[in-house]
């Protein structure tokens, strides 16, 4: 766990670093690849290490940033976080309440504080309470928070996907910490490669550009229901129309400006 007052040293590198850092110092948190950039996170300045890495890799150091962890990530509150019937506490909580889920978001998305995460959790609770959900696909899992909630809510089989290496590692560690390895599988990869097998529920808290390309794909109608978030009101209308073309209908929608979250149900498979 990273404490709120810890200084993060973030190195922005132009170029993708695919392999784990060899002989990484103990201050190394992980790497985040985003399009043509890689971001290396440390809890201490590691200029010499990064410069030596650049000499052996194809990247170019663009900048170095320093900020407190609390400015980068809100983190799980000391008293825990209750959302949609799910309770999350810090992974290093000395006495976790019964039924709570242990969560260490590290430096990836998914500490439970973001409005899109909260809306997804609330919709998930409603769906799990009203319907039998045996399987779920969590696209853009981040810290794994939605996958953890699904398993805690009774879903037997959860596939959690994230194309970001650090997110996948973080989610795997959270699954392991909660002893849910038998029910949740975490994989690193792009969302579009994992929608051709049917699931009862899909959660997709993803950028609009990704969702716009994903929803028209032929594997989308294999799934009974989708919870979609990470978008604004205008973007939600575009995506709802795309779902309609795939014979889905809008079940519910919630707004927490500028964010919108909605549920789409497959009219052919809903039963």
- 15-54 per-position pLDDT tens digit: 877 666 767 899 999 988 877 888 999 999 999 999 888 8
Task: Give helix 165-177 / helix 145-152 axis angle, nearest 10°.
Answer: 30
* From the candidate CATH numbers 3.20.20, 1.10.3110, 3.30.70, 3.30.390, the one assigned to the domain spanning 7-72: 3.30.70
Cis before residue 266, ω within 30 degrees of 0? no
**Distance in angstroms (rounded) separating the CA atoms of residues 153 and 156:** 9
Structure confidence at residue 268 (pLDDT): 80
Query: Which ranges in the chain are annotated with CATH 3.30.70?
Result: 7-72
CA separation (Å) from 104 to 75, 112, 177, 180?
8, 11, 9, 15
CA separation (Å) from 87 to 118, 121, 139?
12, 11, 21
Structure confidence at residue 228 (pLDDT): 98
Query: Which ranges in the chain are annotated with CATH 3.40.50.150?
Result: 105-266
Q: If residue 266 lies in a helix (H) or strand (E), which one and from where to where?
A: strand 259-266
Q: If residue 146 lies in a helix (H) or strand (E), which one and from where to where?
A: helix 145-152
Q: What tokens appear for 179 in the block? A: 């002893």
CA separation (Å) from 271 to 222, 267, 268?
14, 9, 9
Its pTM stands at 0.92
* From the candidate CATH numbers 3.40.350.10, 3.40.50.150, 3.40.50.1220, 3.40.50.2000, the one assigned to the domain spanning 105-266: 3.40.50.150
Weakly modelled stretches of the chain, pLDDT under 70: 18-20, 22, 270-271
The residue among 55, 61, 7, 57 whose CA lies nearest residue 29 is 7
Strand order in the sheet with 86-90: 81-83, 86-90, 101-103
**Distance in angstroms (rounded) separating the CA atoms of residues 224 and 228:** 13
């Amino acid at each position: 766990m990273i404490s709120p007052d810890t200084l993060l040293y973030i190195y922005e590198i132009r170029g993708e670093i695919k392999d784990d850092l060899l002989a990484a110092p103990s201050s190394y948190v992980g790497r985040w690849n985003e399009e043509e950039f890689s971001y290396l996170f440390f809890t201490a300045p590691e200029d010499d290490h990064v410069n030596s890495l650049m000499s052996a890799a194809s990247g170019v150091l663009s900048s170095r940033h320093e900020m407190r962890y609390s400015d980068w990530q809100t983190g799980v509150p000391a008293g825990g976080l209750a959302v949609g019937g799910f309770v999350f506490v810090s992974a290093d909580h000395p006495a976790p309440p019964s039924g709570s889920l242990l969560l260490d978001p590290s430096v990836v998305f998914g500490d439970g504080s973001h409005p899109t995460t909260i809306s997804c959790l609330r919709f998930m609770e409603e769906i799990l309470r009203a319907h039998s959900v045996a399987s779920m696909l969590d696209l853009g899992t981040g810290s794994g928070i939605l996958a953890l909630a699904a398993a805690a809510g009774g879903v037997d089989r959860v596939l959690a996907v994230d194309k970001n290496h650090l997110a996948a590692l973080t989610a795997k560690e959270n699954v392991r910490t909660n002893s849910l390895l038998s029910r949740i599988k975490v994989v690193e990869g792009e969302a579009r490669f994992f929608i051709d097998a049917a699931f009862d529920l899909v959660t997709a808290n993803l950028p609009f550009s990704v969702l716009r390309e994903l929803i028209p794909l032929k594997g989308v109608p294999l799934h009974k229901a989708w919870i979609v978030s990470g978008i604004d009101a205008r973007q939600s209308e575009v995506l709802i129309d795309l779902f309609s073309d795939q014979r889905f209908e809008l079940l519910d929608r919630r707004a927490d400006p500028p964010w919108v979250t909605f549920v789409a149900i497959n009219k052919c498979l809903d039963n």
